[in-house]
Amino acid sequence: MSGYGMNGHIMMQTQGAFGATTVTSLEAINFVSESLVHGIEDLTEANMHGRIAASPHHQGGHSVSGGISAEAEPATMGHFLRSVMGTVDTTSGTGTQTHVFESANCGSEFSSQAANAPLTMYVYRPTVSGATVNSAFVYYDMLANDMTINIANGQLVTMDTNFVGAGFTRVAKTTPTFPTGKPFLWDQFSGSFNTKAITDLQDMTVSINNNLEASWTLTVSKAPDRIKRTGQQTINITGNMVFAAHSYMQAFEAGSELPLKLNFANAASPHELLIEIDKFRLSSFDPVMGGPGLISASFAGEAMYSADSATAVTITLVNTQATYD
């Protein structure tokens, strides 16, 4: 018989090296759901053996994949930003920690085997028996492939992160200590586009995609030897807004690349989240009359590389978490 998901927990920590699990100093996170799986490719012999029964089977390559959905609690959010963005710089203040996340470039990737910092993820899925010996799943060499931050009117801010990983093992159950911060809310948002305040936004999704892929080499391991990029990192923003001005559509028509800032100030100090894009380019802006009510416009755009900041996006998270290294 199965236990309840509400009695399970996830803990994680950034690894010091690819291939080296970190099962000490794990930190619990708040989450809504998870879909992490350990896959084993099945290889079937093509040789014929003078019978009509199936040919022998063998284990092929091992892999780890899946995602975690969570509400955007300030401490938890940093673990995912650390992995999806690549680099972090932390400054300590009185009662605060300011973490600045930026995209890794070709010269600042984590290692020759990992594009970004790998995570060890401890996942305890309880059974009714309450077994504790080797009852927790450990997925390691986990790199965030893509992440979406979802902001909807009247809702908690949520995030969905998908991972590509390499390793799997089991350990005994441990007792978690969960973060106590409150998730960010939709009404804690303020922002600007081309230095002018954004006041007509209805919903928005920020998507970061690293285009990662696991690859295997001829070694004495069935696990992937490295997880690297197959293309450029893309940062896209989509959403809907009340069609109250022509300035956004004019920026789209002109192909302008303009500064965009998205800020969330949590009611529980000192928690803040700031997303800064020096050059945001709208790829579509479509106001339509869908009925007798307010006219809305759907939009989509991309963060472009800025030579001034040497990145496409800078994400600053202020909380009380000491480090994400």
- Distance in angstroms (rounded) separating the CA atoms of residues 264 and 96: 16
Contact 19, 119 (CB under 8 A): no
- For residue 251, is it within any domain? yes
Q: State the Cα torsion 277-143-77-33 to the nearest 10°.
A: 130
Tens-level pLDDT at each residue, the chain (325 residues): 468 899 999 999 999 899 888 877 899 999 999 999 999 999 999 888 888 888 889 999 999 999 999 999 999 999 999 999 988 999 999 989 999 999 877 677 899 999 999 999 999 998 876 666 668 999 999 999 999 999 999 999 999 999 999 999 999 888 999 999 999 999 999 999 999 999 999 999 999 999 999 999 998 889 899 999 999 999 999 999 999 999 999 999 999 999 999 999 998 889 999 999 999 999 999 999 999 999 999 999 999 999 998 899 999 999 999 889 8
Report yes or no on 47 lying in a domain: no
| pLDDT for the residue 22 | 80
Q: What is the pLDDT of residue 269?
A: 84
Number of domain units in the chain: 1
In a domain, 50, yes or no: no
Domain-located, residue 217? yes
pLDDT of residue 280: 97
The DSSP line for 207-247 is EEE--EEEE--SSS-SS-SEEEESS--EEEEEEEEE---SH
Torsion of CA 192, 197, 202, 206, to 10 degrees: 0
Q: Are 158 and 184 in contact, with CB atoms under 8 Å apart?
A: no
- Quick one: tokens of 74? 């300030």
Q: Does 84 reside within a domain?
A: yes
Q: Which residues contact residue 51 at a Cβ distance below 8 angstroms, ignoring those fewer than 6 apart?
A: none
Predicted local confidence at residue 50, as pLDDT = 87
First to last CA, the chain: 38
φ/ψ (deg, to 5) at 171 = -140, 175
51 occurs within a structural domain: no
| Structure token digits, residue 63 | 């892999």
Q: Give dist(CA 144, CA 105) in Å, integer.
A: 16
Alpha helices in the chain (DSSP H): 74-85, 247-254
What's this model's pTM, rounded to 2 decimal places?
0.92
253 domain-assigned: yes
Can you give the residue range of the structural domain that contains 91?
5-41+58-319
DSSP secondary structure letters along 60-103: EEEEEEEEEEEE--HHHHHHHHHHHHEEEEEEEETTEEEEEEEE
Is residue 216 in a domain?
Answer: yes
